[in-house]
Chain A
C-alpha cells in the first residue's frame, strides 16, 4: 500500500462539537475552541490543556472543507504561536451544522460521506467490511496469545533480552485463532510476521533489560499488535497500525455502520461486522446510499424469538443455563447484524418477557472481562436466561 493517510484521533461527537462551536461564533480561535473543549469534557480550562484535541479536530474539519483555518499546530510550542489565529466556518460547515440540529442522523451520514471521500484508509476498510466480517486476532494475553511459557512479564522480558522470543508458539496460536473463521495463515504471511516480530524484539531489548517486567510486557503487547497486524491485513489493503484500526472501529459504531466486539464466545479476538448496507461505485469515492436494514424496527420484529436462538447458541458453547450477558449480546448482534445499542434498547423494552418467552436478568456482581457491561434499567446485567414457556404453541 503506497498511499498514506491519517485517521484523526478523535470521535464524531468531538468533531460535531468543534463544528458547532466554530459555527456559533465564527470567526473564532483555536484557543477559544480549546476552552470550549475543556468545558465540554469537564476539565478546568487551565494552561493549554486539550490543545491537541482542539488542533486535531480543527485539522480534520479543515480537511473536510467544513471550516477554514490558516495553520494548525502539531506541537505544543507551535500551538502557543497559532492559538489566536482565526478559524472560520465554511458554507458547507454551516449547512452541516444546521443539518445536525434538524436531522442528527442525516448529519452523521453526511459526515461519513465526507470522511469516506477524504480518507483512503477508510475507503479500504469499507470495501473490506462490505465483503464480509473481519476478525482481528488482537493480542491481549501473554500466556493465551503468545506462548504458554510466558506466565509472567519477567519470563517474557528475560526471553526478549536474550533475543529468543517463542515466535513459533505465537504463530501456532495465531493460526488456531484464525482457524475459527476458516482463514489459513499463508507461508508468506508467517515469514512476514516472523520478520516483523524479530524486528520488534531487536528494538525492545534495551527496555527488556531495564524496565519493570510487568510494565514492559504491557508495552510489548501493545507494540506487538502494531507490528504484526499490518502483515495480516496486507491483502485487504488494511496494513495500517493498530491504533488506526481502533479508531475506525469506533467511528463505525458512531455512524451505526459497523459494530466491533471482543465478547463473542466463538472468536478469540475482535470481530467487526457491518450493521448497514453501504453502496458506492467501486471506481468512485462517493457514497451512493446507506441502508440501515438491521436497525431498531427490523430487529424488534420477533425480538424475543431471535434472542432465544442466540441464547441457545451461547448455551451450547458454554453449557450453562445462565449465560454471560455480553456473550449473548455479541452473538445476537453478530447473527442479526445489529448495533449493541439497538440490542440494549430492545432488551430494555422486552425485559418482562412475553406470552411465549421468559427473560431472567441477573445483576452483574463481579467484574467481567468484556468491552463494556450490558446496561438495562440503569443496572449492569451479568447473567441472562431466556426460556420458552411451556404453554407456547410455537
Chain B
C-alpha cells in the first residue's frame, strides 16, 4: 500500500486527472519482467514490414527459411537511435506470436487456414545483459529458448503445447510421454550429420531430459541457474540446436530469435574472433538451425559502429548496414512517432491503463490535449521513450506545483531546454479546403 500524501495532492491525481498514478516512468527502458502498455500502432507501416520480412517471406520458402536481419532506428532526431521501441516490439510481438504459434498474425495478413495450420512458428527474445551474466551469443540465445518455453499459449505455456503436439504426433501412451519424447528427440538429432553434439555431456543430457519432461519451471530454472557460464559459452549453441530439433519434432517449421543489445557483445566477449566464428558456423552452417531459424538483431548507430569491424569484414556475416539499399529486404527501420495521431494513440492508451476505476474523463487525452501532445512529441523529436518520460515529468511537475489544469502555458517552459529544430509532421491539414 503506497503512502498517502497531502490530501490535495491525492485529489489532483485522482479527482482532477482521474489517474491512479503516473502512467510514465522516469526511465522507460524495456524490462522483460515489467508489464508496460504496448501500443503497436506507434510503429505505423513498419509493423507490417516487420512481419513481411521476418515471418511471411521466410514462411513462404520451402527449405531455407533463414533471415539474418536487423531492427533499426536510424532516426536523425536522435543520434543514438535509442528509445524507439525496438526491444518492446521484438519482445511483445514474440509473446503474441507464441500465444497461438503465430496463427493470429498470419490470419491478419490474409493467409489461408490450411497454410496457418501447416506453418506454426515461434519467436524468442534475448538480450546481452551483464547483470544476468548473459555475455555471449550462446548464453543470449539460451535465454531466448527460456523465453519461448515460458511464453503463455492459450491456457498453458509453449513448452506444454510442444510436448502435447509431439505426443499427439507419435500417439504416445499417457503417463510415459517423457521417455518416448526423449527417444524421439534422440532419433531426430541423429538425422543431422553436421550436428556434432555429445549427447552424453552431463548438462546436455539433463537439458534434454527436462525439455522432454513436463515441468517447465524446472526446465527454465535449470537453463537459467544450473548451467554455468562456462558451459553456456562452450556448449550453448548445442542447447539451441537440441531445442530447434525439439521444435521440428513438434511440427514447428520456423523460429525467430530476436537478439537485443548486440553492441554489448563487443564489450563483453573475451575472444571475439573465436566467438564469431562459432556464431557463423552455428547459425549458418548447422542443421536444423540453418534452415529453420532466423536471427534478428537490434541495431542502432552506436551498435553498428561497435560491431562493423568484425561482423561482415572478418566473418562475412550478412551486412546489417541500413545505408546499403541491397540490405533493405532484411532490415526494418523504426521511425518513432512521425505523426501527432500516433502520439495521441500512445498517450491515450497509457492514460487509459492508469485511469481510476469507472472514470469518465472529458476526453481520452485528459489531462492533456492534442496540442500539448503535439508539443511534447515535437520536443521529444518523435522518440517514444522521451515522449513518455516528458509527459510523466509534466504530470509530476504539475502535481508538485498544485497545478491541476495542464495547458500549453504550463507545459511550454518545461520543454524549454530542447532544441529549436523539431521533427516534421507529414500529416496533411485535415481542415484544408477540399477540391470541389
Contacts and interface: CB of A to CB of B under 8 A. Distances in A.
B408 A39 contact: yes
Interface stretch (A70-78, A172-180, A337-345, A364-372): A337-345
Nearest to A297: B436
B433 interface: yes
B45 interface: no
B320 to A, nearest CB: 28
Interface residues of A, number: 35
B378 A42 contact: yes
A32 B431 contact: no
Contact of A339 (B369, B375, B435): B435
A33 B422 CA distance: 19
A42 B425 contact: yes
A326 interface: no
A25 B422 contact: no
B433 A44 contact: no
B175 interface: no
B347 to A, nearest CB: 15
Contacts of A44: 379, 415-416, 418-420, 422
* B contact residues, range: 20 to 34
A104 B407 contact: no
Do most interface residues of chain B lie in helix, strand or loop, or is the interface mixed?
A: loop
A31 B410 CA distance: 12
Contact of B424 (A12, A21, A42, A104): A42
Contacts of B435: 256, 295-296, 339, 341-342, 345
Contact of A39 (B375, B420, B424): B375
A35 B433 contact: no
Contacts of A342: 435
Nearest to B408: A35
Interface string B358-399: 000000000001010011001100000000000000000000
A43 B420 contact: yes
A25 B407 contact: yes
A195 interface: no
B7 interface: no
A13 interface: yes
Nearest to A298: B436
Given A254-B433, A256-B436, A32 B408 contact: yes
B434 interface: yes
A12 B371 CA distance: 19
A296 B375 contact: no
Given A42-B424, A44-B415, A13 B432 contact: yes
A345 B433 CA distance: 14
A13 B434 CA distance: 12
Contacts of A296: 435-436
Contacts of B62: none
* Max chain B C-beta neighbours (<10 A), residue from A36, A43, A256: A36
B382 to A, nearest CB: 12
A100 interface: yes
Given A36-B371, A44-B418, A345-B435, 7 more contacts: A13-B431, A21-B371, A24-B369, A35-B375, A42-B422, A104-B431, A105-B436
| 9 pairs of A and B residues whose beta carbons are closest in the complex | A295-B436, A292-B436, A35-B408, A108-B433, A39-B375, A45-B412, A42-B422, A296-B435, A342-B435
